[in-house]
Structures are given as C-alpha cells and as structure tokens.
Amino acid sequence: MLIRCSEDNFIYDVHSLFKAFYPAEDVRVIPTSEDNDEAAFAFIEYKKDRSVITLYSDGKEEVTESEIAENDRVDYKNKLKRAIYRALSKKNGTKLPWGTLTGIRPTKIALTMLEAGNPDEEILEYYDSVYLTGKRKATLAVDIAHRELQILSDIHYDEGYSIYIGIPFCPSTCLYCSFTSFPRMIYEKQIGEYIACLKKEIDYVAESFKKRIADSVYIGGGTPTTLTPAELADLIGYLKSKINFDSVKEFTVEAGRADSITREKLEVLKRMGVTRISVNPQTFKQETLDIIGRRHTVEQVIEAYKTARELGFDNINMDMIVGLPGENKADVANTLETIAKLSPDSVTVHSLAVKRASRLNEWISEHGRDFINSEEIMDMTEKMLRDIGLEPYYLYRQKNMSGNMENVGYAKKGKEGIYNILIMEEKQSIVALGAGTVTKRVFHEGDNYRMERCDNVKDVRLYIEKIDEMIDRKRKLFL
C-alpha cells in the first residue's frame, strides 16, 4: 500500500494511522516528489490553508477529507490525523477504539490533565474531540490515571531513582519476542564475565547515586531465572551489599518461563528479599505454547506458581497474550478461567504485537496472519479480571498490535507493579544495567519535565568488551 505525501513532516504519524486500519498491509509513505510508478492508495496534500486526504480505488478518487491548517504544529498534526481517520473510517465502515491515538502512552494525557486540575468530564471530552477516542477506552485511561496518581503519591521524583537490571538470556527465543534475548547454552562461557560487568555498573550506581533514594528495583530480561541459583544469589547479594534497600518499595524479579523456574531458584529469590515475581503462562493452551516456542507444559506453569506460593511469595504476577496464532475468544476465556482459579496478585494482559525483529514475521509469511483480537475480547478480559478482584492500574500500547488494542496491567489493591508505571509514565529517572538496556534521565523543571536517554549495546560480547564505555555514557548523562 503506497501513500504519497506532499511534505514529510508527519510521515511517521501518517504511517502509524494507516497501519492501524490495515495491519496486514505493507504500508509505505513516500514524498510526492519521489519517482515511483506504483499506483498510490492515498494522497496527503498540504496546501496553504488546509490538509487534504484523498483515497483512490482502481485509480479513481473514492473519498476526500480535509481539515483547516493551523500554524501550531501539534494542532496541525491532530487535525491531519482526524482527516485521515475520517477518510479511512468512511471507506472501511470501521472505527478504531483508540481513535487517532497512535502513541504508546494513552494515559499520559489523562494523568497530565488530572495533575492540572481538570475534571474527568473535560478529560473525556478532550479524548473525544481531539483524538476521536471511544468513550470506553477514554474512561479506562482516566480510571487508570486516577489509580496511578494514588500509587505514585509517595514516589521520590526529584531525589529518587529506580534500577533496572537486564539478563539477556533465555532457554529459547519465543516466536513473538523482539527483546534482547540470547540462548544461554550458546553464551555459557560468557555468563561469569557478564555478571562481573553488571557488578561494575552496580559500583557506578552505588557511588553516583548514594545521595538519592532508590524507590524500585526490577530484574528483567530475557529470563532472569536462566541464571543458576548460585549466580542469582551472587548477583542479588552484590546488589544489596552496594545499594541501600531501606527505601525500596518494590523488588521485582521476572521469573517468567516455567522451564527456567526451580524450587531452589525461588528459594534464593525469597531468601534475598525479592518482594514481587512473575510466573508467565502467556496462554494455557498447550498447542499454542508449542507454536510460540515456549518449551514447557501448562502443568509446569501451574506447578511453578504453586511452588512460589508455598515458599511465601505474596505478590505474584502472571502475563497473558491476546491474539496469539490460532487462538479465539474461547481460548482466551479458558486462559482467564485457569488464571482465576490460581488467583495471582496481578495479571498483565498483552495484545500481540508483530515486531520486525521477531520470528513472528517469518511465521506469518508461511502460515498467514491468523490473529484474533477485538474490543469484545478485551472487554471480556477486563470483566473476568475485575470479577476476581483485580483493577486496571497501568496501560500502554505498541505498534502493530493485534486488533489495534492495548496492554493493561490489573492488580489487587496494594499489589500494583510500581516500576511498570514509572517506566511508562517517564516521571522518574531509571538507571538501566546490562546489554540492550536503556537508561532514562528525567529533568524536572517546575511543573514540567523532559527526558534524555542513553543505551547500552545489545550484543553480549560487545557489552562485555565496552563496559567502561557503557558506564561512561551514564556518567555523562547524569553530570
């Protein structure tokens, strides 16, 4: 699908919106001036006082929408996106539940307006008038923003920080995964060096942030529990010997895959003071687990969860994915029913996102795009999770999500994942250690704030080789 634009200022936004309406299409947006003999599906024209969107079918003009242009760039962009939305909606007879919103943080709008004192009614009207967002999704965003304000009320924004430690190893790479992840068996000889480099980064944090307050610590991946019990004890023990944990409100280790979880590893995590873990099924349909490359059984997930409960973990999260290959509404309901019987403290519902870096693209080429997600299914997940006492507390979106939906975290009161909110809302600095991680520094300037970031290289061997450079990047960011 070819889209031509007379200017390239908003090519990213144009591409995202067309892709939301046509997820299975290879959407390309090019300048009008670029030579290309292919027939265009749409023309986006920026004229003196307006933007004009024209759609074509078999070379014939089919739908035209326009919006008066303004000098303000943000207002102009929003008007342009509304014109595109109306044209595509008119052509297809469909609406997107999130309207023209294509960014990953829909709750940020509500959170900012609540902090400014705007009442809920004005915020809902803003979502509708500016972004054409459906009332149900807008209400969900406002509801979550209220909860986020409560949860983060005692977080140290200015003088505080959070720590993320990435363990980029997995038993195998899942079909949909685009994170920094490498099979442990290939990097077995580098594990010791990798942990030594993490310790060097921990030393930097201990020295540079000794006057700041650590609010949360999150060890993710990859799959952190690919480390052996001894390696976990060594890493966490070193971390706690260097960082003052007295103020840490939440210490999460993403245990993740059942084929990496053992009683001995869980005993180490419990002994080392980890307060929150994840045991992630993604689905309770064995056939799907086999397709997506999670080399464990449904029974192993249940056993890992029950073992964690036996050892006294009282804050266990479970992740599930909606829109997995071949799954329908009944399959999602079955996963939810199994989760309800186990009664975890929180559940994160992910809508499958097709990432360029994942093997899922190859699978689609061979098997087709057999993904089912809809507002009806997401509404069902919300109802079933609310029925077992879990309330939505954070939300984010990604590009190329099945059904153009969202990811939502649900939790029992007091069991919400603090780090999850902080990483999404970007209101506190997060120092990230390990290969492929991104450190974010938040600058608070009165009621406003801005963010700058620096990243660590993704390749494990290169990370080990350049560890001093990775630390120096952080040092310069926080000067």
Which tens digit of pLDDT belongs to each residue from 173-197? Answer: 776 666 667 888 889 999 999 999 9
Residue closest to 197 by CA, chosen among 171, 235, 170: 235
Query: pLDDT tier at 243 (50, 70, 90 boundaries)?
Result: very high
Report the distance separating Cα 52 and Cα 70, nearest Å. Answer: 13
> What is the CB neighbour count within 10 angstroms for residue 189?
7
At 53, the amino acid letter reads I
What confidence score (pLDDT) does residue 7 get? 72
Tell me the CA distances in angstroms from 136 to 82, 139, 201, 347, 411, one per residue in order: 19, 5, 44, 20, 20
- The bridge status of strand 316-322 relative to strand 346-351 is parallel
Tell me which H or E stretch contains 325.
none
CATH top-level class of 2-92: alpha beta
207 has pLDDT over 80: yes
Report the distance separating Cα 110 and Cα 145, nearest Å. Answer: 6
69 has pLDDT over 80: no
Overall average pLDDT of the 244-268 stretch: 95
Q: Is there a contact between 312 and 271 (Cβ–Cβ < 8 Å)?
A: no
DSSP state of 352: P
399 has pLDDT over 70: yes
Share of the chain above pLDDT 70, in %: 94
Query: How many CA atoms lie within 13 Å of 278's alpha carbon, on the beta-carbon side?
Result: 26
What are the φ and ψ backbone dihedral angles of 175, each rounded to 5 degrees?
-55, -40
Query: pLDDT tier at 216 (50, 70, 90 boundaries)?
Result: very high
Between 57 and 405, residue with greater pLDDT: 405
User: For 236-255, b where at least 16 C-beta lie within 10 A, e where not — what string?
Assistant: bebbbeebeeeebbbbbbbb
Q: Name the fold adopted by 160-472.
A: pyruvate-formate lyase- activating enzyme (3.80.30)
What confidence score (pLDDT) does residue 212 get? 96
Residue closest to 20 by CA, chosen among 111, 131, 145: 131
Report the distance separating Cα 158 and Cα 174, nearest Å. Answer: 38
Report the distance separating Cα 141 and Cα 146, nearest Å. Answer: 9
pTM of the predicted model over 0.85: yes
Q: Is there a contact between 395 and 409 (Cβ–Cβ < 8 Å)?
A: yes
33 has pLDDT over 90: no
DSSP per position, 232-282: HHHHHHHHHHHS--TT-SEEEEEEE-GGG--HHHHHHHHHTT--EEEE--B
Range in 159-163, 186-190, 226-230, 389-393 the model is least confident about: 186-190
- Which residues lie closer than 8 Å to 466 by C-beta, 6 or more apart? 457
User: Structural domain boundaries of the chain?
Assistant: 2-92, 107-151, 160-472
DSSP per position, 410-454: EE-TT---HHHHHHHHT-S-EEEESTT-EEEEEEEETTEEEEEEE
